[in-house]
Amino acid sequence: MLQSTPIPPHELHTSSITTRNIQSFPNHKAPKQIYPDGIKTSGQHAPIYSLLRPYSDFPQEITGRTVWRAEDFRSTPERWTHVFTDSENAEIGAAADAFLASGTPLTGISQSNFHLPTFGPFLASLRDDLLNGKGFILFKNLPVTEWGTRKAAVAYMGLGTHLGYFVSQNGRGHVLGHVKDVGDDPAQIDKVRIYRTNARQFFHADDCDIVGLLCVAKALEGGESDIVSVHHVWNTIQKEHPDVARTLTEPIWYFDRKGEVSSGQEEWIRTSVFYLETGPDPRVYCK
């Protein structure tokens, strides 16, 4: 379990951990009219190589709530499913209505202007389970059709503010995007993000701590999500192929930025696949 809060990337330039001449990110002063309560993204950047930990610092085996197999949960959906009650939907809906009435841009949504006095404590405990436990939950019965797209989006983003702070997910700066086939060619792997096509997405890890998906229209077919405990994956690799585990912790892997770069930036990132958080008692993360 994490003993201290990791340092957000956009705050590294003010942290005591950056005594090695690490410069601030170019966008550390995001315009307040876009992000009223502060910066929400640091973009895609190569790691700070001096902060990457060697393989010898990684655990031989991870234990605890984050390690699980599919059979641990397959027959007990009540352990990972929450059905919104009418009273919970009423509270969430009222918070969304109040936010919409305030005229605040969606990028300005936060816990302070999306009040959930009754449901908020549940989300606080859920946050711990997402970060330090099994790491997933399925919500059901959010009335997205009744509320309409805009109110549903506000409700979705508002719930998220009780779990963390949101960051952009692409070069367009979207903090709320659509997983939708817009006709892009999935074969153009150097410039096309797969979630904008009808191609299947395989196992991957997004560059954030928590990812949420809201279904606004059920597909006629497909759309199923597969998840896995990355800590169980790490344990398996360590046990069966420790040489591979070592290689995956080395910053020798190149990731295409899909053309989402500014002028003068490299079109790739060189980093490791497995890495350790900064700070004491760091967890193993996967890119």
More confident of the two residues 202 and 73 = 73
pTM over 0.75: yes
Give the pLDDT score at 20: 39
Task: Please give the structure tokens belonging to residue 222.
Answer: 């497909």
pLDDT in tens, 147-185: 999 999 999 999 999 998 887 776 666 778 777 666 777
C-beta separation of 100 from 151 below 8 A: yes
Per the prediction, the chain carries an average pLDDT of 82
Give the pLDDT score at 65: 96
Q: What is the CA radius of gyration of the chain?
A: 20
| 246/273 Cα distance (integer angstroms) | 10
Q: Would you say residue 75 has pLDDT above 90? A: yes
pLDDT in tens, 239-264: 999 999 999 999 999 988 877 777 77
Spans of all domains in the chain: 68-227
Give the pLDDT score at 61: 97
